[in-house]
Amino acid sequence: MVLPKKGADKHDQLAIEDRVYIEFGALAGAKFTLKGKSKAGMQMLLQFLIRPDGSVVPPTQIELKPGKKGFTLTTTTDQDGTYGLWLIPAPGDLGDLSYKFKLKQPKKTEFIID
């Protein structure tokens, strides 16, 4: 079985009340990097990053850097399983959002599927 390494999606014409949900699977120690792009220069804010056990990752463990036409979010996972990332549009310019993410899973790890 191969662990996930990347993903991508897009959302058209986000409104201020919209939420973007991104789900990804990772092993503890994986580095998650998401790069968002918007022609309108829309920025996104982190609402929640939910761990596989249902707890919330503290915002201090997530780096969100705004850019000219998008943003970059990075974090290192601390549990094995499926994470849920919730983003919301920042006040200001709104529009379309496209994103790509990549996961760098830890090397030489083993996992068991029940």
> Of the candidates 7, 72, 4, 15, which has an alpha carbon nearest to the alpha carbon of residue 40?
15
- Full strand arrangement of the beta sheet holding 62-66: 6-11, 97-104, 31-37, 70-76, 62-66
Confidence of residue 41 (pLDDT cuts 50, 70, 90): confident
| Residue 14 DSSP one-character state | -
Hey, where are the domains in the chain? 13-104
Q: Is 50 helix (H, G, I), strand (E, B) or coil?
A: strand
- The predicted-structure confidence for 44-89, as pLDDT tens digits, reads as follows 999 999 999 999 999 999 999 999 889 999 999 999 999 999 999 9
- CATH code 2.60.40.740 for 13-104: yes
